[in-house]
Every structure is written in structure tokens, then in C-alpha cells.
Structure 1
Amino acid sequence: MFDDWEHAKQTSVAAFYLPILEQKMSLPESEIRRERHCSSFFGSKKGILDVEELKILKKRLTEEKEVEWINEIAWWCDADLFSYMTFRIARPLFNFTLSPDGEDRTGNCANADPFVNIDNVLYNPQGLKPIHRHHYMGYPAIGFTRLCKGEDVDILYKDEFLYYRFLKQPEERPKQIKPPTIVAKSNRLIKKLLDKVNQIIF
């Protein structure tokens, strides 16, 4: 089960070399694209893949060179490996963004899709459809750690995040959100510069 628009990516950055798969699998590009998905909302049953199936997938990737099906631009991404696996093991998939029900086809990216907050529930502005998940793609984890400690961080929909993060422990939610101190910002800048120097040297 997925909720993403990876299937709509341009051919040059798609997970698979689509012409190769069209030829090898005798499938149209449109059908191959439907199998493309990310890994941030990957729901399945425990044990859906057994050891033998994993061995078969490994053999196909290495000995049968199906690794060449995966776009080298995307190869080191877990999402593309998941896409390959689900494409090859023929398990039922459901992607909300491909649902025949228009209410399912909502945005989900915090840094790209505009949403309307109504009683701490986010909705697509078109028709006020409630979204299924909120994907904070592109935001580093440290930003959320700092936000939870009361630091003002440049994260869209941070009030909604804090509401649900502390829904069951409201007493632990920071009472105030304040900008980082000059000392904190200076220390982070120094650390960033030192890390960069270390990378160049070593």
C-alpha cells in the first residue's frame, strides 16, 4: 500500500530503464509505471517475502543482471529497490494516487503541496479532501529533534507536527517556540565547516 506520485516521474529519473523493461517483460510503459513507488509509506504483512524468494531476487539481480533494469541515477535509493522487488514478486499493490476514487488522490508532501488545516486535520485545498499522510520529504531528522525541544525550525506545518507528536503527552510539548541562540547557530556553523574540512582532507 502506497501513497505517492513516483509513477509520474520523468523517464530520465524513473526507477527503471523503461525501454528495457518494455522489451524484457512485453509490457507497456503505462503498466510498468503503475508499479513504481517510494518506500516512505510501505505497508505489508510480516513475512510477505520468504527466504527462498529473496534468494531468487538476489540471483536475478546479480547472476541474471536484472540490476541493469534499475536506473543508475536511482540505484542507491531504497525506494527503487522496493519497486524492483514488488515488480518482480507479483504481490497485490494499491497506490492511493492511482485510485479510481478521486477522494483518495491527494497531495502529501509538506514541502511541495499546499494544505488547509481544519481542526488539526490537513486537507487538499481542491474540494477539501483529507490527506492520508503528511510526507516531510527533504527535512533532516535533527530539525524535528530541535523543534520538539522548543526551537523554531524552518519546517512547514510544524504546528500540525507538534500537535500529533505530543497528542498523547501534551504536557511534554514545548510551551514556547523560540529561535536558536547566537551561540547555538555559531557552534553549528563551526561544526559544519570542520566537517567539510575533514571531508576534503580525508
Structure 2
Amino acid sequence: MDGICTLCNDRMFDQLVALLNSIEVIYGSQMPVCIFPYDEQTEKIAAEIAKRPQVFIYDDQESIDRWDEFMRQARPDKMDSTKKFRLYGSHRRFCAFDGPFDKFVYMDADILLLDTLDLIFAKLDEYDCVTYDFQFYHPEFVYNVQSPKLLEVFDENRLRNEIFCAGFYASKRGLFDETERRWLIEQLQAGEAEIFKTTGHDQPVANYMFMRTNKRICNLSHVLPEGTATGCTVTSKHFEEKDHALYDNGNRVTYLHYVGISPRIPEAICAGENLKLPYRDLFLHYRFLHEPEKRPVFSEPPPEKPKAPPSLLKRAMNKLKLLR
């Protein structure tokens, strides 16, 4: 069985609803969706998906614990001053390698699906990992490009062709068994961990896992006919919107990734705050697809710059006024 996976907690509720609705527009209720829990805060999500029988929360605790431990060993540098590991749940996307789908497309919850994934699923017959982005233009967001060891581990050609954004990729169940996971940890503990981007978390690890084990990686941006590959992030301002889809120089965009945008912004917009967000109307269309009466209506364009929060001194003075 094929399916879509994502990762979320209640903090990203509005973005998750928009993603699920966008998937339904493309696939109806035929495409199963598995949500990996970022943490235990999933009450709102559970209530929402109760009316979506094709959507479920991953509950294989043994699998979750296994990947939690893998990340503890892969990124021991992610520790605070008390040497207590600070566990970020974003690596739990790796649970997809345990199931429940034979082939899966993983996408972050801050994504809108705008076209079918048929080609991506089909390419998994030839490859172990299929991606569609331009992350390879910025290897510094994945690896420590200043590390002399980087080119000892991966040659330049592989860095130019195989690096991908871990927010969207397709792969298969059964990759990275216990033997392979143990081998990866051994290489990292032997010194290869220094090639990781120091401020990264699971994205460097995802790239390293596929590349270090010589998995077959296909980035559609490299192989599609010239002039047909599209962008995918909200940082691209030239997309044209038509019928609630986006087009890049006439080519339909497969997905739109609201990368780098705090979930507080779409959450505030959905609550009626007039804030700026790239392709805001498109996001609101999908977020309130099944409840248009709740969609906020803005009579004015959003301000170019958000209003700065009051300073600590000003907040203290305001509080004193209230107490008088």
C-alpha cells in the first residue's frame, strides 16, 4: 500500500488541516495519510482526524523509541548545558522506514499539495529516494562545508546531485535495518559527525543516511525535461495562482512549502489577525475548505512589517498603570 506521511503536533494544527484538505482535493479520501507525533500534544489533531477515516496517528511506540535512540546517538551534540539530551521530535519522520506504507511520500505539515504524486511514486520502482527541490544549491544548510572531512566522505559530484530538503521526499519501507543503523552510528562516532551542519537536526542526518549507504537518489529537478521543473517554496514570489493551484512559468507546481515560517503566523491569521504570509489566500482556501464560514475576511492588505511587541520596560510600565 502507498501513502503519505507527515509530522505534527497541535502547535501546527492549522497547517495540518490545510495539508490534509489539499491532499483530499487531489486524491479524495483514497490516499491514506499517517501522522507521526512530534510529541504528546496531539489532542486537537485526534479530534480533527476522527472525521477523516483515511488519516491516522502512528502509534508504534517501539518504532518511535527506536528512532529516538538512533537520533540520540547520531546527534549527541544536541545536548544542553546540563548534558541532558534535548529531544526534538522532527526525526520521527524516520518511522516511515518501519511502516505502514510500502512506498511513501513524506511531507512536512507546512506544505500544500497542489498536484498528483504519480511520477514520484512511479520513480520509486527505480530509486530508493525521490526528491524534488533545489536544496543542492545550498549545501551549507545540510553539511558543514568548512569541514575538510566532507570531501573525504562525499565527492563534489554527489554533493551537487544528491543533497535534498528533508521536508519532502519519497522512499520505501524496510530501508535502514538494525545492521545498517548500527553501521551509520559507528561511522559518525568515528569522526564523520563533524560534517553535519552544527545547527541542523534531522535534515543532515536524513541526507547522510541515504548518501552514506549509497542509496539510489533521484531529484526530479535534475531529470525532468529542460524548462519543466518548478520551484516549491514560498520564497519564490513569481508563481501564478489559478484555480487554487500554482504555476511556475506555465508548469504546475507540485507542492508549496511554507519553509522557515513560524507556525504562530498562520495560526494568528486563521484567528483573524491581519498578518503577511506568502500566498496567504491560497493557504486560507485550503485551511477553511470544509468550513468557509469560519474563514477570516480582511478588508485591508496586511502591513508590510508586523507591529513590534512592546519592550520589557514598556510592558512593566503598562502593568504599573493597571495596578494604580
Give the structure-1-normalised TM-score.
0.73
Give yes or no for contact 1:151–1:178 (8 Å, CA) kept in 2. no
1:42 aligned counterpart, secondary structure: strand
Q: Which residue of 2 aligns with 1:137?
A: 259
Richer in strand (by share)? 2
Q: Which residue of 2 aligns with 1:52?
A: 179
Q: Does 1:39 align with 2:166?
A: yes
Q: Does 1:15 align with 2:143?
A: yes
Q: Does 1:189 align with 2:189?
A: no
Q: Which residue of 1 aligns with 2:134?
A: 5
Q: Which residue of 1 aligns with 2:199?
A: 76
Richer in helix (by share)? 1
1:105 aligned counterpart, secondary structure: coil
Q: Does 1:92 align with 2:92?
A: no
Q: RCO higher in 1 or 2 (8 Å CA, sep ≥ 6)?
A: 2
Deviation of the 1:13 alpha carbon: 6.0
The 2-side partners of 1:91 and 1:56 are apart by: 14
Q: Which residue of 2 aligns with 1:120?
A: 244
The 2-side partners of 1:164 and 1:104 are apart by: 25
Query: Where does the alignment leave 5 or more consecutive residues of structure 1 unmatched?
Result: 195-202
Deviation of the 1:155 alpha carbon: 0.7
The 1-side partners of 2:151 and 2:288 are apart by: 48
Q: Does 1:61 align with 2:188?
A: yes
Deviation of the 1:65 alpha carbon: 1.0
CA displacement, residues 141-173 of structure 1 (integer Å, 9 cap, x when unaligned): 100101111221111110001111222333432
2:172 aligned counterpart, secondary structure: coil
Q: Which residue of 2 aligns with 1:102?
A: 226
Give yes or no for contact 1:38–1:80 (8 Å, CA) kept in 2. no
Identical columns (%): 27
Deviation of the 1:56 alpha carbon: 1.4
Query: Where does the alignment leave 5 or more consecutive residues of structure 2 unmatched?
Result: 1-129, 316-324
Deviation of the 1:91 alpha carbon: 2.4
1:101 aligned counterpart, secondary structure: coil
From 291, 300, 303, the counterpart of 1:169: 291
Deviation of the 1:190 alpha carbon: 4.9
1:86 aligned counterpart, secondary structure: helix
Give yes or no for contact 2:133–2:221 (8 Å, CA) kept in 1. yes
Deviation of the 1:54 alpha carbon: 1.6
Give yes or no for contact 1:75–1:81 (8 Å, CA) kept in 2. no
Give yes or no for contact 1:15–1:36 (8 Å, CA) kept in 2. no
Q: Which residue of 1 aligns with 2:10?
A: none
Give yes or no for contact 1:148–1:173 (8 Å, CA) kept in 2. yes
Mark the CA change 1:43 to 1:189 in structure 2 (over 3 Å): closer, same or farther: farther
Q: Which residue of 2 aligns with 1:197?
A: none
The 2-side partners of 1:103 and 1:148 are apart by: 36
Give the structure-2-normalised TM-score.
0.48
Q: Does 1:159 align with 2:285?
A: no
Deviation of the 1:20 alpha carbon: 3.7
Please identify runs of 4+ aligned residues in structure 1 that moved more than 3 A: 16-25, 175-180, 188-191
**Cα RMSD, aligned residues only:** 3.0
Which amino acid counterpart does residue 85 of structure 1 have in structure 2? M
